Structure 1
Amino acid sequence: MSIAEDQVRQQLGDFSSIVCFKAVVVGIEEALGEKAAAIALISAGRQRGKKLAEDLGLNNKGSEISLEDVSIKVSSVLGKDGTRLCIIDKMEQDGEVYKVYTRETVCSAGEPQGSPRQCTFTLGAIQGFLESFLAKRLRGKQIESVLRGGEQDVFEFSVLR
């Protein structure tokens, strides 16, 4: 199903501005506090990611499709030809640890250098997708940020036992 076929709004389409999204994030942080807001945003992202895996027919397919092929499919849906959440450059696996290299994340957009902002929603979306794809529970963390000198926003996911 293409985005146009499932469009929610007749004239404005399915997309909103980064400015509005960031206002929601800041408002949630002010209302709940930074840690509770991070938990809520990661959870919301995870739900989005799980739905994405389901929509792409990639849930529980971890051993059937290469991580490289999955990366290409997810990147097209979340990147410039999709919802524009972020660009995924690559996904890597080292044993039970997965790393996802992203850029132009919605969470980092417009933030000043040195900002402590974390990519909570984006991390959650990728985590939820990977959890659904791999049929495994993961713990995610951001290990590199463009806001703090990194070349990319990099997320690391470890399999929980």
Structure 2
Amino acid sequence: MTYQRDELGDFSSVVCFKAVITGVEDTLGKDGAGVVFTRAGKVRGGNLARELGVAGSNAPISELAAKLDGAIGKEGTRLASVKSVREEGGKIIVDTRDTVCSSGEEMGSDRNCTFTMGAIWGALEAITGKTYLGEQTQSVLRGGEFDRFEFEEL
């Protein structure tokens, strides 16, 4: 049996999550924190795919946006809104908005969405059974329409 928060439920504030990010950055440096949060996100994404029963399903790319958005979007944990998932030039491209990592940041900030990218990365690997190299290639903080993540199969 696991402990459940009776009054507050499963969700906490973006402000508290961002405090964890900046505190870890202060301790480990930006690069070290990026590695930690990407890995933590991958673990979360893989576990989420297993919880949803889609791990190993190799679901078609055309179905992934709805599956991911249902899990981490408005009806899920509210980590990010997944707008599209598509294949382009041998890569899987995931466009998101309203990522928790970008929330509250100044426009022009160099903040990347390491945890969000990691969560999508982990879910993608669990669903497809493939290994990818991921990178953030666009940011709403730096003029992008989306926080965009690209995954190339290794």
Calculate the TM-score normalised by the size of structure 2.
Answer: 0.95
For 1:7 and 1:85, the matched residues in 2 are separated by: 22
Partner in structure 2 of residue 44 of structure 1 = 40
Any stretches of 5+ residues in structure 1 without a counterpart? 1-5
Identity of aligned residues (%): 46
Q: Which amino acid aligns with 1:68?
A: S
Partner in structure 2 of residue 3 of structure 1 = none
Once the two structures are superposed, the pairs formed by residues 6-85 of structure 1 within 5 Å of their partners are 8-62=4-58, 65-85=59-79
Q: Which amino acid aligns with 2:106?
A: P
Which is further off, 97-106 or 74-83? 74-83
For 2:138 and 2:88, the matched residues in 1 are separated by: 17
Calculate the TM-score normalised by the size of structure 1.
Answer: 0.91
For 1:154 and 1:70, the matched residues in 2 are separated by: 15
For 1:95 and 1:133, the matched residues in 2 are separated by: 20
Once the two structures are superposed, the pairs formed by residues 1-161 of structure 1 within 5 Å of their partners are 8-62=4-58, 65-94=59-88, 96-160=90-154
For 1:54 and 1:8, the matched residues in 2 are separated by: 21
Q: Which amino acid aligns with 1:144?
A: Q
Give the Å deviation of 1:95. Answer: 5.6
Give the Å deviation of 1:142. Answer: 0.4
Q: Which amino acid aligns with 1:136?
A: K
RMSD across aligned C-alpha pairs, in angstroms? 1.3
- Does the CA-based 8 Å contact 1:93-1:99 persist in structure 2? yes
Distance 1:40 1:66, change over 3 A: same
Give the Å deviation of 1:8. Answer: 2.7
Any stretches of 5+ residues in structure 2 without a counterpart? none
Q: Which amino acid aligns with 1:25?
A: I
Q: Which amino acid aligns with 1:74?
A: L
The alignment of Structure 1 onto Structure 2 pairs a total of residues equal to: 153
For 2:7 and 2:60, the matched residues in 1 are separated by: 38
